[in-house]
Amino acid sequence: EAGVAQSPRYKIIEKRQSVAFWCNPISGHATLYWYQQILGQGPKLLIQFQNNGVVDDSQLPKDRFSAERLKGVDSTLKIQPAKLEDSAVYLCASNSPGGVGTDTQYFGPGTRLTVL
Amino acid sequence: AQSVAQPEDQVNVAEGNPLTVKCTYSVSGNPYLFWYVQYPNRGLQFLLKYITGDNLVKGSYGFEAEFNKSQTSFHLKKPSALVSDSALYFCAVRDPGYSTLTFGKGTMLLVSP
């Protein structure tokens, strides 16, 4: 089965510019996650979708970050305007919920964002 | 609140020797525990998980982990390390009362020939 797809793999922008990342989860996976991984740290959850609804966006900086999953399949994460501290790898993950808390998340290759 | 600690930034081991990567956790209930590995410029790959049952969990590529409730630990182990095991390893925990996964900061494993 195909894995989680993400694009682009790399992006370099100037501060105050906008950028968008795309994710296509594993087919049939209802839950989709976006994580931010800053160099030297573990991934931090930004937002979790269940189908096309938001389950948890408590750590999403909503003044500049937005995400959508309109049809419950692929998703887009946007940053506008970008700041230097947004430089990180943005990871998308998906899973197919089984029993509560037992499901394994599968990750895409990530998008490495550099803000200059 | 849930949290994970990986006390070692880096672990060095010679090829053929056993390896251990340490992880301790804090949750309010019974934990669900995971190990992931990340190779350069790649996403995280799932290695193994503990949900319930046998405290010794076996996973991919010959890795295993032991759940120790009294010590709140979930150390990753392998009997004989390979150079190709060199990568960044993340421990993660989920409290049954939450839907989110919390990751440790990662441990770099370097296996020398």
Cross-chain residue pair B99–A110, CB shorter than 8 Å = no
CA distances in angstroms from A70 to A102, B7, B102, listed in the order given: 26, 41, 26
Host H or E run for residue B77: strand B73-78
**Tokens encoding A62:** 């909503």
Is the pLDDT assigned to residue A99 strictly greater than 70?
A: no
Looking at the complex, does the CB of residue B108 fall below 8 Å from at least one CB of chain A?
Answer: no
Looking at the complex, does the CB of residue B99 fall below 8 Å from at least one CB of chain A?
Answer: yes
Q: Over the range A31-66, which residues count as b (16 or more CB within 10 Å of their CB) and which as e? A: bbbbbbbeeeebbebbbbbeeeeeebbeebeeeebb
pLDDT block averages, 10 residues each, chain B of length 113: 93 97 92 93 90 91 95 97 96 83 95 96
Q: How confident is the model at residue A98 (pLDDT cuts 50, 70, 90)?
A: low
Residues in chain A: 116
pLDDT of A100 reads: 52
Question: Tokens 């408590």 sit at which residue?
Answer: A58
Looking at the complex, does the CB of residue A1 fall below 8 Å from at least one CB of chain B?
Answer: no
Looking at the complex, does the CB of residue A39 fall below 8 Å from at least one CB of chain B?
Answer: no
Task: Residue B94: name the closest of B34, B21, B52 by CA.
Answer: B34
List, in order, residues 6 or more apart from A77 with CB less than 8 Å away: A20, A21, A23, A34, A46, A47, A65, A66, A67, A90, A92
DSSP string, B36-55: EEE-TT--EEEEEEE-SS-S
pLDDT of A25 reads: 94
pLDDT of B30 reads: 86
Nearest CB to B49; choose among A41, A43, A104? A104
Nearest CB to A102; choose among B32, B41, B106? B32
Cross-chain residue pair A107–B44, CB shorter than 8 Å = yes
Percentages helix, strand, coil for chain A (3-state, rounded to 5) are 5, 45, 50
**Nearest Cα residue in chain B from A4:** B43
Q: Which residues of B touch A93 (CB under 8 A)?
A: 44
Q: Is the bond preceding A8 in cis, omega lying within 30 degrees of 0?
A: yes
Q: Which is more confidently placed, A71 or B85?
A: B85
pLDDT of A85 reads: 96
DSSP string, A22-49: EEE--TT--EEEEEEE-TTS--EEEEEE
Cross-chain residue pair B96–A100, CB shorter than 8 Å = yes
